[in-house]
Chains A and B, each alone.
Chain A
Amino acid sequence: MKDSRRRFLKLAGISAFALIGGLGASGAQAQIAPGKYIPRPGGLKAKRWAMVIDTRRFASAEDYAPCIEACDRAHNIPHIPTDQNVKWIWTDTYDHVFPDDMNNHLNTSVRSRPYMLLCNHCDNPPCVRVCPTQATYKMPNGIVAMDYHRCIGCRFCMAGCPYGARSFNFVDPRKYLPDPYPNKEFPTRMIGVVEKCNFCVERLADGKMPACVEASNGKIAFGDLEDPNSSVRQALANNFSIRRKPSLGTQPGVYYLI
């Protein structure tokens, strides 16, 4: 009797151990490819990508036009002449961009000039919280990215985003793109998905700066917010800067020098 109880406990112990081991092994996701995945050699890396726009050097909407055009070309963004247009970068007035500012009597230049708008790549992105399919997600380097394969077009992210940075493809965007497509190395989107600025994540991986930064002639700085010597930190240390709707606590990654 004693002997059989001892044997039973031994067997039960071994079984439990095997079960835990088995669960642990199945928890690790099996890789299908026999090869190895590595980051792309020569890509730009940062702990937290951020953008600083020197709005003092953009007097009118035309000054922003090269940046917007460069972005449209790089990402095959269509111009749809209705209210169903798709935009990654656009401009708006001070009152609309910084509605938190209660000051009625700002200096004329600040009040009258247009401001460039794009996805803020927040530290606490509401769009990521509400996405039911994880099509929108935050990467460790601070970029809020999208996987259009997973987007089901529910538009929760558009409701969640306090900056209006997202556009829905109400129609097939290819109908409004020139022939041939502006950038044959970047996909278009399809009807029924939401899209937005991706901080040129595909260009950063290729060792290039974002298209709008390149087209801005140094008026937009882009770099690592965690690196005290980066261009963005230098610009923020030496100038007065604001961000959009700071009271919401989303912690945008796009700064405006005023």
Chain B
Amino acid sequence: MYNAKGVIIGIIVFVIIFASPFWLSWIGTDYTKTGVVLPQGEKQCVEDTEFMRANHMRLLDEWRDQALREENRAYVSHLSGKTFVISLQNTCMKCHNNYASFCEKCHVANSVYPYCWTCHILPEGK
């Protein structure tokens, strides 16, 4: 090969730089660790953790439509059979009462900025 030494070193350097996102991630922290602090005292949310993690926003959306438009202001959990009053402020935030160490941790890590709190009142807020 013509100028083999230079070409091979060049290819190696290119591959190292090209693969930098992969090997740099070994040094950095794991993105799944958002540092969410779960509420004290309560073990179980309205549905199981997997469902809540993936679908809480869709659940809240459905809750709002059911409560406001269908006058169905209570939700019977599939998981525990318990009845919950549908309310972000008065049901969800009673357990998840620390916005900064629960909601915000995950939302910031995932770069989502919902504007719930321009109207709904946070427990520790004024």
Contact = CB atoms under 8 A, between A and B. Distances in A.
Contact of B59 (A32, A139, A140, A180): A32
B53 interface: no
Interface stretch (B4-12, B34-42, B114-122): B114-122
Interface stretch (A33-41, A99-107, A119-127, A219-227): A33-41
B77 to A, nearest CB: 5
A37 B72 contact: yes
Q: How large is the interface on B (under 10, 10 to 19, 20 to 34, 35 or more residues)?
A: 35 or more
Contacts of B47: 33-35
A7 B4 CA distance: 70
Contact of A181 (B46, B86, B126): B126
Interface stretch (B15-23, B24-32, B60-68): B60-68
A32 B77 CA distance: 13
A139 to B, nearest CB: 7
A137 B86 CA distance: 20
Interface of A: 31-41, 43, 137, 139-141, 145, 147-149, 179-181, 184-190, 205
A32 B58 contact: yes
A40 B90 CA distance: 14
Contacts of B70: 37
Contacts of B71: 39, 139-141, 205
Given A37-B66, A188-B121, A190-B119, A32 B72 contact: no
A153 to B, nearest CB: 13
B64 A187 contact: no
13 contacts: A35-B77, A36-B75, A36-B76, A37-B74, A38-B76, A39-B71, A39-B72, A39-B73, A40-B74, A139-B69, A139-B71, A181-B121, A181-B126
Q: Which 8 A-B pairs have the closest CB atoms?
A: A34-B78, A37-B72, A40-B73, A190-B118, A36-B76, A35-B78, A187-B119, A179-B126
Given A147-B68, A188-B119, A190-B119, A180 B126 contact: yes
Contacts of A41: 74, 83
A203 to B, nearest CB: 12
B51 interface: yes
A186 B126 CA distance: 13
